[in-house]
Amino acid sequence: MKPDKRSRLRGLYAITDTGLSPKQQLLQHVEQALLGGAAIIQYRDKRTSSSQRLAEATALQRLCRDHEALLIINDDVVLADQVGADGVHLGAEDDPLSSARNILGEDAIIGVSCYNRFDLARIAAASGADYIAFGRFFPSHIKPKAVQAQPGLLTRAKAELGLPLVAIGGITPENGAPLISAGADMLAVIHGVFGETDIQAASRKLSRLFEPEEKTR
């Protein structure tokens, strides 16, 4: 992947949810997140038809480009290729990373969920992942039964793997800063952005966690 793309893997990583942003509100909600400073948007939709997902992802790609943000597609490598997304995010049961790379090419961003397991992160890094995601770190509205991860995992991965790291799971403006200090380059947030009444304000609070301390005073 081009170095300039990897250098953009930092900041608020907002993940869409069909329950929080139904189709008639999806673009409006995402635009509010972008106006609040979201650097990366992940389109995550496991429910709707393939034609609707294609239409939504296409619209989101245009919107993200307008706001100079990255668009990552959850799970669906073919959809990411169809819309020219910046990359794809893979879970444990998704397509192999090598297959995604063959389809999307060397310039695509490919991220991998490693939950609370450093062994999976090591394998993902060796296989060419562009970032690693760990979590959940706090109780989650979206995945309440997800495994618990500890901040020390971020610190170890930062020291040993040298890849951008995502922290996910119950993250808020109040608990996100220690995860950044532990090594997270991105905070992935679903409910804490799209579940809030004022999405733009929620995004702004989370985005400010990445600003130098002197600017936040």
Q: Using DSSP, state whether 174 is helix, strand or coil.
A: coil
Q: Which of 21, 113, 140, 203 is catalytic?
A: 113
Residue type (1 letter), 96 = P
Look up residue 150 and give its two tokens: 């500890």
Q: Which of 6, 143, 158, 208 is catalytic?
A: 143
Dmax over CA atoms of the chain, in Å, equals 47
Instruction: Tell me, yes or no, if 145 is annotated catalytic.
Output: no
Q: Smallest Cα–Cα separation from 37: which of 205, 156, 174?
A: 205
CB-side neighbour CA atoms (13 Å) of 25:
14
Q: Which helix (DSSP H) or strand (DSSP E) does residue 4 occupy?
A: helix 3-6
Look up residue 91 and give its two tokens: 């879970």
Look at phi and psi of residue 186 and say left if phi exceeds 0, alpha if psi is from -120 to 50, else beta. beta
Judged on CB neighbours under 10 Å (0-12, 13-18, 19+), 159 is exposed
Instruction: Tell me, yes or no, if 44 is annotated catalytic.
Output: yes
Q: Which of 44, 117, 156, 208 is catalytic?
A: 44
Instruction: Tell me, yes or no, if 98 is annotated catalytic.
Output: no
Name the phi and psi angles at 176, rounded to 5. -75, -35
Q: Give the residue numbers marked as catalytic.
A: 44, 113, 143
